[in-house]
A and B are shown apart, each in its own frame.
Chain A
Amino acid sequence: MINKHVKKRNKIYFFVSLLVLVYGLFFLIAHAPGLIAKKYLNHETKVKILIKSLNHINKVYINATPSERMEIEEAFKNLNQSVENKGTDKTCEH
């Protein structure tokens, strides 16, 4: 009886792990455009995308609450700082 249960339980665990794995794959696929862009796009296109993203951030900023705005400002402050300091560290890349 107990062995039967353990088998059943392990099957459920296997199924749940599979779901988690599928989700992980979805997550990677969702990142694919960014990864491809990073590797294959030329500099000008990257700049265009960046400007588009900044425009999008601007829209988000307008609708944000005061504390969210503070967080965004803080993030940009850090970004500026890292550009000034190193130019290519992880924050800047992000």
Chain B
Amino acid sequence: VQYYLYIFFLLTLALLPHLGIGSALYKKNIISGSIISMLILTSIVSPIAYINAMHIKKIIFIYFCIGLYFLFKNRKVIFKFNKNEILFFAIFSLFFLWYFRGLSPELYIYSDHDLLYFSWISEFINPSIEGPLRLEISWPNQMASNHLIPGGIIAISSILIKKINLISSITLRYLIISLYFSYFFSHWATIKKINPFKILIFLILGMSIFGQEIGYEIKGSSFIYVILMLEILKNLYIKQNKQILFCLSLFLIIAKAPIFFVAVIFSFWIAYFNKEKISNLNWIVIILIGLNFASWFLVPRPTEHAGMPFFINIFKIEDILSLNGIKGWFITDAVSEIIFSVLEGPFITFALLIYIMTKYYLPYFLITKKIVVARDKTKIILLDAWVLCSIVAWTFIRYPIGIGHTAHLYLLMAVVTLFFIIKYFSESNNYYSIIIFSLIATLYGYPNRIFNPLHYVEKELLTTPESTMTTSELKFGFTNYKNDESYAIKNQIASAMIGEKIDAALVKPPQKSVIYNWIIQPDDK
């Protein structure tokens, strides 16, 4: 508890300057402004990390000073609280801190995938030598180009923490996600004057169907994409603030590198549709996006698995057969378990293709058709662009390694569909449809998925014990960095957890680790 309070206190302090900048950017939408402020700072420091990480702390310090000035200047606007919203926020916070318990540092299963996004945070904030970003778990080797935004957000939030390590980063992510979800739903209940318990019930039922996908996304590096998606939905459907949408959509581009092209089209679509003059702030953001984008290409690329996305050639058999990859990316649920047990071979892939379209996309089109009112057509048209591009992209776009990360698109679509399901049922008086939905949702999630969005992820990680760690395992002494091949990945994770370096000259990075390809190793010659 002490550790949580300590991290929570330092996180709050680190967020205050962003509230200041947020209030300066958007006076009537301070939280969205603060999120944009965090993303601006992260996108400034991310490319710099590849030039000289020593400058990062200075930039954050200057940025925080500006933030604190605006915090003081706009204090009357910022610290204006709505009693109802605070009460709702407290209720939702308790719920989400329990609901996302799988992300809490003591229950979390640390895997080698986390090393890719969080193992360099200490070097990002407190670099040990001049020059580009180093990897602590293979020190002093450099980090290859990567989208640093998810880790960067955690990094700028951990600026005040004395001992930065993987455990502190995971704690921060757990708190940021729980607090943001609490804010989102409490804000929704307050603005739309909906009983928060009604939202809570439909949220649990909705998560029973889509929770595993959302759990998978927030467990990985896509949690910023989820937060941005929810912010876009908030500003479209709850707050109705279209001015901020373009800025948010721009940040979607760098929030998840493998699916950047969908966000690019989405941003263009918003700019075209809103027909607004691009503000100075948005020009700055465009430049920052360009710099981050450039860093992906100018910085040495990962040794493997890197390549440009391409459209499949319908006349090329390898491209057509690459669809088989969705079997590996699919998050199993009650229906897909039946598909896997009844069908076999290519018929499973075909059935999954139909099922993905039905589960993730069809409810969106059915519900938005019903809830659209004649007042504001742009609301629906703007989001349609992302949704339609998402379908085309995950089905027809491939990476050289196959279906690759485009599968994130339909997994992220779960966030959008969940939002509309909660919106539809919490505003509906059709009790028959509510009862049917409740029954389906309970059957879907029963018995393990209803109250644990990380059930699937945990089950999958437990099948690869050689590349995972838990805090209880750490207590049993994975702290000796012996050159033992069988424990190599575990030792990497353990050293990241306690925040210590592994000297690459003494211990070579294990080739089977996910991060191996992101380590720039000096040429043997």
Query: Number of residues in A with C-beta < 8 Å to the partner?
Result: 25
Residues of B within 8 A of A2 (CB): 372-374, 377, 380
In the complex, A54→B38 CA distance in Å? 54
Contact A27–B369 (Cβ < 8 Å): no
Scoring B residues 375 to 399 as 1 if CB is less than 8 Å from chain A, else 0, what string do you get?
A: 0010011001000100110011000
Contact B346–A27 (Cβ < 8 Å): yes
Contacts A2-B374, A9-B384, A16-B391; is A24 near B365 (CB within 8 Å)?
A: no
Contact B369–A20 (Cβ < 8 Å): no
Q: Could you tell me which residues of chain A, from 27 to 51, have a CB within 8 Å of some CB in chain B?
A: 27-28, 30-31, 35
Contact A70–B511 (Cβ < 8 Å): yes
Scoring A residues 58 to 87 as 1 if CB is less than 8 Å from chain B, else 0, what string do you get?
A: 000000010100100000000000000000
Chain A nearest CB, measured from B195 CB (Å): 28
Residues of A within 8 A of B368 (CB): 6
Contacts A2-B372, A2-B377, A30-B317; is A67 near B304 (CB within 8 Å)?
A: yes
Contacts A20-B391, A28-B350; is A6 near B372 (CB within 8 Å)?
A: yes
Contact B323–A23 (Cβ < 8 Å): yes
Q: Does A10 contact B (CB under 8 A)?
A: yes
Contact B345–A6 (Cβ < 8 Å): no
* Smallest Cβ-Cβ distance to A94: which chain B residue: B345
Q: Does B59 contact A (CB under 8 A)?
A: no
Contact B350–A13 (Cβ < 8 Å): no
Scoring B residues 198 to 224 as 1 if CB is less than 8 Å from chain A, else 0, what string do you get?
A: 000000000000000000000000000
Residues of A within 8 A of B349 (CB): 27
Q: Does B1 contact A (CB under 8 A)?
A: no
Interface of A is mostly: helix
Scoring B residues 356 to 377 as 1 if CB is less than 8 Å from chain A, else 0, what string do you get?
A: 0100010001001100111001
Residues of A within 8 A of B354 (CB): 21, 24
Query: How many B residues are at the interface, by size bracket?
Result: 20 to 34
Q: Does A5 contact B (CB under 8 A)?
A: yes
Interface of B is mostly: helix
Contact B388–A13 (Cβ < 8 Å): yes
Q: Does B353 contact A (CB under 8 A)?
A: yes
In the complex, A23→B314 CA distance in Å? 8
Contact A20–B395 (Cβ < 8 Å): yes
Residues of B within 8 A of A21 (CB): 353-354
Contact B353–A20 (Cβ < 8 Å): yes
Contact of A6 among B346, B380, B388, B396 (CB under 8 A): B380
Contact B380–A10 (Cβ < 8 Å): no
Q: Does A57 contact B (CB under 8 A)?
A: no
Residues of B within 8 A of A30 (CB): 317, 320-321
Q: Does A17 contact B (CB under 8 A)?
A: yes
In the complex, A61→B346 CA distance in Å? 25
* Smallest Cβ-Cβ distance to A20: which chain B residue: B395
- Give the interface centre of A1, A2, A10 by most chain B CB atoms within 10 Å: A2
Q: Does B9 contact A (CB under 8 A)?
A: no
Contact B377–A1 (Cβ < 8 Å): yes
Contact B346–A35 (Cβ < 8 Å): yes
Q: Does B268 contact A (CB under 8 A)?
A: no
Contact B374–A1 (Cβ < 8 Å): yes
Q: Does B347 contact A (CB under 8 A)?
A: yes
Residues of A within 8 A of B353 (CB): 20-21, 23-24, 27
In the complex, A71→B371 CA distance in Å? 50
Chain A nearest CB, measured from B304 CB (Å): 6
Residues of B within 8 A of A10 (CB): 365, 369
Contacts A13-B388, A70-B511; is A20 near B304 (CB within 8 Å)?
A: no
In the complex, A75→B274 CA distance in Å? 52
In the complex, A24→B395 CA distance in Å? 10
Chain A nearest CB, measured from B457 CB (Å): 23
In the complex, A21→B354 CA distance in Å? 7
Contact A28–B365 (Cβ < 8 Å): no
Contact of A17 among B323, B350, B357, B380 (CB under 8 A): B357
In the complex, A26→B217 CA distance in Å? 30
Contact B320–A27 (Cβ < 8 Å): yes
Contact of A31 among B314, B345, B511 (CB under 8 A): B345
In the complex, A28→B345 CA distance in Å? 10
Contacts A1-B374, A2-B373, A13-B361; is A23 near B395 (CB within 8 Å)?
A: yes
Residues of A within 8 A of B320 (CB): 23, 26-27, 30
* Smallest Cβ-Cβ distance to B356: which chain A residue: A20
* Smallest Cβ-Cβ distance to B396: which chain A residue: A23
* Smallest Cβ-Cβ distance to A30: which chain B residue: B320
In the complex, A21→B349 CA distance in Å? 12
In the complex, A20→B397 CA distance in Å? 12
In the complex, A20→B395 CA distance in Å? 7
Contacts A24-B353, A27-B350, A67-B304; is A16 near B392 (CB within 8 Å)?
A: yes
In the complex, A50→B68 CA distance in Å? 70
In the complex, A19→B396 CA distance in Å? 10
A to B CB contacts below 8 Å, 8 in the list: A13-B361, A13-B365, A16-B388, A27-B323, A27-B350, A35-B345, A35-B346, A70-B511
Given A16-B388, A20-B357, 16 new contacts (CB under 8 A): A2-B374, A6-B380, A10-B365, A13-B391, A20-B353, A23-B320, A23-B395, A24-B350, A26-B314, A26-B320, A27-B321, A27-B346, A28-B350, A31-B345, A31-B346, A67-B511
Mark A residues whose CB is within 8 Å of B.
1-3, 5-6, 9-10, 12-13, 16-17, 19-21, 23-24, 26-28, 30-31, 35, 65, 67, 70
